[in-house]
Amino acid sequence: MCANRKVRVPVESASPFPDRDIARGKREYFEELFGEEMMMKKLSFALLLGIVIGFQVLTAHGATISVSQFVEHPALDAVLRGMQDYLKERKVDVSYTIHNAQANMGTATQIAQQMIGEKADLLVAIATPSAQTCVQALAKAPADLKRPFLFTAVTDPVAAGLVKDLQKPDAGITGVSDLLPVEEHLRMVMAYKSDIKKLGLLYNAGEANSKATIAAIKGLSSKLGFEAVEATAGKTADVHQAAKSLVGRVDAVFIPTDNTIVSALESVIKVGVENKLPIFAADVDSVKRGAVAAMGFDYYQHGRQTGAMAERILGGEKPETMPVEFQKDLQLHINAGYSRQMGIEPPAAMLKKATQVYE
């Protein structure tokens, strides 16, 4: 026999499926071995396995969050960082699209409209102006583009028109408020500098959150024994001049959680140092930048609280079933170095109570 000779092998000796189509033969072969019922169970299991694998592929990319931050400054940056850190620690798979309006309302409006088109799983707005533009954009969006919305670092959600009821928010909306216990804060200011007769209030009259705080301060002025003197700045470029306008007219200056003023804080601190005019702030992040003192919230923790609400919404909870939350833990931060530069020695009793002291 030649080594390259081909030998034809009879079909019946080459295959256990004689005279049948191969695919059909395999099925009948397994039916003979396992029975038809077992065969159907195996097919059902294979189908179920395919569905599970497909679901895993679909969900592998995680959730998407689109963020609108009104301006870059330490307090708002801390909110964003806190939210992201919380979700990362909780192993929530999230990708972010982050927008910043740089304190421009027109830009904030454009960002809100853009966010609607991004079709994220959750929309988040940091600070009142950005929250307002997002709510307005969502109100005009078609049903298929509406998304759950979470606001944060908003002083008065009701006055800002975001919700009508803090305990029962509007459909698709909830958030975390940074509303200050104003009287407690003012008592700290008056204790720090007991001879204040006139207190300057520096803010942007166009920010709803600031207007709500200023109204509360003016309502307490008679009770606490001081006269409120206002100075406003509509944009960051106007902040320095607005601060200078208070020189010689007031004994100290108080800055609420105002995004416009805080984003240009260094220009206010300069006026305070040059004129020995103490500058107090409502957020503790401003103290490390030169404000004399603040009794306020840790905005990083505020962000973590926001992250906890975001996790619940991404997990399927409806925002309208979640009451608006508030941060309750206050901290006292003092900048002793800048306090002395502005002509006032930090009270020893307050230094002992302070959570943080900067020299």
Question: Residue 340 carries which DSSP code?
Answer: H
> Which 3 state secondary structure label does DSSP give 32?
helix
Q: Any idea what the Cα angle at residue 264 is, between residues 260 and 266, rounded to 5°? A: 150
pLDDT score, position 52: 38
From residue 44, alpha-carbon distances to 38, 41, 47, 48, 89 in Å are 10, 5, 5, 6, 38
Q: Could you give the residue range(s) of every CATH 3.40.50.2300 domain in the chain?
A: 61-178+299-326, 182-296+330-358
What gap in Å lies between CA 138 and CA 176, rounded to an integer?
A: 19
For the chain, list residues with pLDDT below 50.
1-34, 36-60
pLDDT score, position 298: 87
What gap in Å lies between CA 286 and CA 309, rounded to an integer?
A: 26
In the chain, the N- to C-terminal Cα span, in Å, equals 102
What gap in Å lies between CA 321 and CA 309, rounded to an integer?
A: 11
CB 293 within 8 A of CB 258: no
How confident is the model over 1-53, as pLDDT tens digits? 333 333 333 333 334 334 444 444 444 433 444 454 444 444 444 444 443 33
| Site of tokens 């801390």 | 78
pLDDT score, position 327: 83
pTM of the full structure: 0.72
| Site of tokens 């800002």 | 160
- Crossing angle for the helix pair 105-118 and 128-140, to the nearest 10 degrees: 50
SS (H, E, C) 167-216: CCCCCCEEEEECCCCHHHHHHHHHHHCCCCCEEEEEECCCCHHHHHHHHH
CATH superfamily of 182-296+330-358: Response regulator (3.40.50.2300)
CB 307 within 8 A of CB 337: no
Within 8 A by CB and 6+ apart from 158, the residues are 164, 165, 166
| Site of tokens 């942007």 | 204
> Which 3 state secondary structure label does DSSP give 60?
coil
What gap in Å lies between CA 40 and CA 329, rounded to an integer?
A: 61
CB 215 within 8 A of CB 161: no
pLDDT score, position 29: 38
CB 324 within 8 A of CB 154: no
What gap in Å lies between CA 283 and CA 298, rounded to an integer?
A: 8
Tell which CATH classification among 3.40.640.10, 3.40.50.2300, 3.30.70.260, 2.40.40.20 matches the domain 61-178+299-326. Answer: 3.40.50.2300
